[in-house]
Every structure is written in structure tokens, then in C-alpha cells.
Amino acid sequence: MELGKCAEARSVDCGEKAEEIGADHFQLGEEIRTLVSAPPDSGSSFTALLELPANQAVKLLHSPELEETPRAAELPPVFPACKLSVFLGAGNSPDTGSIPVKQEPTDSDSPPGNSSPLAADPMAVDGDRKLTKRKEREKKVKGPAKKSRTAAECEADGEKLPYVHVRARRGQATDSHSLAERARREKINARMKLLQELVPGCNKISGTAMVLDEIINHVQSLQRQVEFLSMRLAAVNPRIDINLDSLLAAENGSLLDSNFSGIIMPSMWPEGQFNVNRQQYPQVWHQPVWGREEGNPNFITPENSLLSYNSSANSGKSYFLILAN
Amino acid sequence: MHSPSQLKRDFLKQWLKGLQMCSYPKKEMSILERKKAIKLSADVAMASARNATSCWGLALIANASKEGNDKCLVEHLLGQESERGKMASTFQLAILHKKLRSKKIIKKSCSVRRVKKLTPRMVLASSVAKRLVKNRTKVLKSLVPGGESMDEFSLIKETLDYIVSLRVQVDVMRCLANASDLLNCKGVHG
């Protein structure tokens, strides 16, 4: 099937990234697939009709993986987008490298950092055609509309007659206010898409209000988790001081070697070893701060117990190794 | 842009520094105080780790430094040089907030007139949807620090940022808590 082939072709480029990005890439992949499939159909007719310069059409067609977001948004907002895919994929630097590069040509079209209605006007003349193209593609990408307004406009003219679609747009396009509105709405839509991808379980929900609901729930749950964890950490303290001496004696090497490589073990910081480690790591740890460890609510044990451990050198270094991973 | 592990590292560094400073003034703290101190240092650490890019971070720090007893703590945490930067940004934030408030008052007074004219018999689906969205954005604004003084677009961007950093914060804290629990268990048995 043509769609499948396109998807394959596309997924080859981002194959390496796909493994890292994982499940979230499936949604991206779907959108990429529809993106790739849609432009060849409508793109040629559009460029013929609208007499778009070819390079602009190409730019639009080969939009980065995060689709319409870059085109409408200013440069700074790209970073959350890049960072998102990076974050989801646990550190994929090529992604972030490619997206800002592609950003620049499209951003030069619209004056960067200017979200006022006036910004829409320079885009207006050639921009409204881009908008119509984008709208059509967006509609195909999103399928059942996420934003009722944009979908309602597209749906009537829709897939069957792109020419009619353009016509309707032209009639509207002369009004600068509606253009600006549309540009603004597009920006917001793009952002909402990103949010949807970030918040788990939001992809299937259509409708801004529901998505916002999910987002609010997610943020609230995260905040509650922070509260809960800080309470837990606060509660942990009294026992730690008592047990930590014996614990360190017994478990010093083994804990770090074993499955806790992903877990950060600040309790393994021996105070005495810090002078050694400071040379290895150019960090600013104030010496007096370390002297106050007795009152610390958390993990730093009294220094007399620590200095007696000769294996504590390893633990300090391995802590930094863990951090470095 | 930070990779997530880099962010975690920064956050952890800042946070532990902060915890050290928290504990210094008082030797004996009640559990609630301790919890507050932990949370505060975590929040401030998070905010400063994302300092350059986030508006919510500045707002968070501004809020934290408003109250008297926390203020010194926050200042200590941030250090001398950055403190000036924070002060400047807090002033800017306050000014921006006032501007937006006045704008909103004007808007509201205008819109009230409009509503009276319309008085729709048929409630359109779109208007219902708009109202729902408005309510939700209001709630979201109250959740995200510094959200009130933001338009819809930047609110979404800040939410994105905020969610990412909250996740990092939760991950790191959970790791610490797990580690300490494990240590405790081993200590009890061993």
C-alpha cells in the first residue's frame, strides 16, 4: 500500500531515532505517514494553482517530525518541542540538532518573536495559501477534529475539492483579523498537540476541553507526588542516622555494584573523600557546607563513621560515575 | 538544550546543596518543617536548573522569596550574583502582572456589554465549548506558577516546560526515597 511504503521510507530515516523514542513514536509515525502521503497528492496541484515558489513548497512538504509546530511557532517554543522528543526518548541529541536547523528558513518568513496580529500580515498574502495547505493537511493528520473550529471550516470543503477549499479561504483571507486569528489558533493547536503527546493517554481524546482536563489532572498528580515524596523523605530521616553506620560498613561496595546503578546514592558520599573527588569534577561544593552535615535532614552521616571506611573512596567515585551515566 | 539526564544531574546538585543549607540554621526540625524545607529546596533547585528558559521558574522563585522566613533561604540557595538577576526578574514579573491585570479589567468591561446584547436563545455548541475551555485554562493558570500573567499561548508552552521539570523532580525524589528506604531496610536487617 502506498501509505505503508511512504511510512517505511520515512521510518528508515528516523529508524535510529525510533528505537529510542519508543512508543510515542508510533503516534508521531502515524502523523508523519499521513503528512507524507497527503502532500504528494495535494501538493502538486496546490503549487500549480497557487504558483507557490517550489522551494517554499518543499519546505512545507518536508516539515520536521514534529509537523506543523515549527512553522507557526517562534524559535524559543521549538525548544520544548525538541526537548520533548528528546525527553521521551531519553536523550537523543540528533533530534534537537536537526529541528532548529530546519526551523530557520521557515522562521525567516514570519518575523520571529512577534505574536501580534501584525505578524500575520506579512505572511498574509503568500501565507494564507500556506495556511490553507496546512489546514488541509492538518485535517488529514488529525482526522476527527481536535479543535472544533478549524475542523468545521475544513470539513465542508474538505478532501474532495481542494480548489473549492482554497476558494473559500480566499474569501475569508482578505480579512486581516481572521487571518491573524487563524494563525494564532494554529499556533495554539500545534502546542496542544505537543501537550497531548507529552501527557499519557491524551492522544485518543479529541476536543480541547477534555485534553485540558487531562493536562490539569496530570499536573495536579505530579504536584501531589512531589508533596508526597518530600514528606516521605522528611519522614525517613530519624532512622537513617542510626542505621547508616552499620549499613555502610556492610554494604558499601555491594550496593553500588549491584542493581542500583540507576539509583543515585548520596548516602555514599564520604565527607573526607570529597577533596579527592573535587579534583576529578569541577564542581563548586563549598567546604564549609560539608562541615555542617550533622544537622542535615537527609543522608550525610556523621563524619567519624565515614572516615573509618577505606572502601569509601570507591563509593565516592562510583557516585560520580553514576551521575555521569 | 538539556538532555533529561543532564537536567536530573543539575537538579540533584542544586537540591542537595539547598538541603545542606536548609539544615544548617536549625538542628532540630519538626517533620513538617523538614518536609517544607525539602520541598522548597527541590522547587527552587528545579526552577534555577531551568532558569534561562522558564517563566514559571522565575515566578516560583518570586513567590518563594515573598514570605519572610523562606526569603533568606531562597537567597542563600541562589547565591549572590543570581540573586540580583532574580530581583530584576521579579520586578519585571510584577510589572507585567499589573499590566495584564489592567488589560483584563478593560477587556472584561467591554465583554460584559457584548454579552448583554447577544442574549442567545439557542446555546451554540461552540460557545459551550469555549466556556469549558475558558474554565479549564483558568484552572491551569492557577496550577502553573506564574500562570496568571500569561496569555493562552505562552501558558501552554510554560505548561509543557513545567510538566517536564516536574517529572524530572519526581523521578529524582523517588530515586532518593527508594534508595533511603532500601538502606534503611538493609540497616535494620544487617
What's residue A221's pLDDT? 92
Which amino acid belongs to residue B27? K
Nearest to A68 by CA among A199, A191, A158: A191
- pLDDT tens series, chain A, 325 aa: 554 444 444 444 444 444 444 445 455 555 555 545 544 444 444 444 444 444 554 444 454 444 444 444 444 444 444 444 444 444 444 444 444 444 444 444 444 444 444 444 444 444 445 544 555 454 444 444 444 444 444 444 444 444 434 334 555 566 788 888 899 888 888 888 888 888 888 888 877 788 888 889 999 999 998 888 888 877 776 544 434 333 333 433 343 333 343 444 444 443 333 333 444 444 333 444 343 333 344 444 443 333 333 343 444 433 443 444 4
CB distance A65 to A85 below 8 Å: yes
Q: Is A303 exposed, middle or buried (0-12, 13-18, 19+ CB in 10 A)?
A: middle
Task: Tell the residue number behind the cell numbers 512545507, with chain if given.
Answer: A60
Separation in Å, CA of A303 to nearest CA in chain B: 15
Between A and B, how many residue pairs show a Cβ–Cβ distance under 8 A? 207
Instruction: Tell me how far apart the alpha carbons of residues A70 and A65 are, in angstroms, rounded to a whole number.
Output: 10
Rounded CA-CA distance B53/B41 in Å is 19
Q: Is A67 left (phi over 0), alpha (psi -120 to 50) or beta?
A: left
CB spacing of B1 vs A232 below 8 angstroms: no
State the Cα torsion B118-B121-B124-B129 to the nearest 10°: 70
Task: State how far residue A2 is from chain B, nearest Cα, in angstroms.
Answer: 35
Q: CB distance A216–B180 less than 8 Å?
A: no
**Tens digit of each residue's pLDDT (9 = 90 or more) over A255-312:** 333 334 344 444 444 333 333 344 444 433 344 434 333 334 444 444 333 333 334 3
**Min Cα–Cα distance to chain B from A171, Å:** 22
Q: Which residues of A96-108 are buried (b: 16+ CB within 10 A; e: fewer)?
A: bebbbebbeebbe
Nearest CA in chain A to B22: A296
H helix and E strand count, chain B? 7, 0
What's the confidence (pLDDT) of residue B71? Answer: 60
Mean pLDDT, residues B26-33 taken together = 66
The residue type found at A245 is: D
Residues 6+ away with beta carbon under 8 Å from B181:
A236
- The pLDDT value recorded for residue A242 is 38
Distance CA A222, CA A213 (A): 14
A207 burial level (CB within 10 Å; 0-12, 13-18, 19+): middle
Q: Is A175 helix (H, G, I), strand (E, B) or coil?
A: coil
| Closest-CA residue to B29 (of B80, B67, B69, B68) | B69
Interchain CB distance below 8 Å, B164 and A84: yes
B75 within 8 A of B83, measured Cβ to Cβ: yes
**What is the average pLDDT across B143-170?**
83
Cα separation values, B188 from A247, B108, B183, Å: 8, 62, 8
Whether the CB of B72 is below 8 Å from some CB of chain A: the reply is no
C-alpha–C-alpha distance, residues A200 and A196, integer Å: 7
The residues near A184 (Cβ < 8 Å, ≥ 6 apart) are A115, A117, A120, B153
Q: How far is B125 from chain A (nearest CA, A)?
A: 10
Mutate to test the interface with B, among A237, A240, A264 (most CBs of B within 10 A): A264
Nearest in space to A18 (alpha carbons), one of A72, A73, A95? A95
C-alpha cell at B137: 485554562
Q: What is the DSSP string of A236-253?
A: HHHHHHHHHHHHHHHHHH
Decide if B21 touches A, using CB distance below 8 A.
Answer: yes
Taking the CA of residue B136 and the nearest CA in chain A, the distance in Å comes to: 6
Q: Do A292 and B160 touch (CB under 8 A)?
A: no
With CB atoms and an 8 Å threshold, state whether B26 touches A295: yes
The answer to ipTM > 0.85 is: no
Predicted pLDDT at A290: 40
Complete DSSP assignment for A268-316: G--STTHHHHHHHS-----HHHHHTGGG-SSSPPPHHHHHT-TTHHHHH
Closest CA to A137 of A190, A84, A75, A209: A190
Residue B56 has pLDDT above 70, yes or no: yes
Cβ atoms within 10 Å, residue A61: 18
pTM of the predicted protein model? 0.50
Chain B residues 123-152 with a CB less than 8 Å from chain A: 125-126, 129, 132-133, 136-137, 139-140, 143-144, 152
Whether the CB of B110 is below 8 Å from some CB of chain A: the reply is: no
Q: How far does CA A58 lie from the centroid of its chain?
A: 25
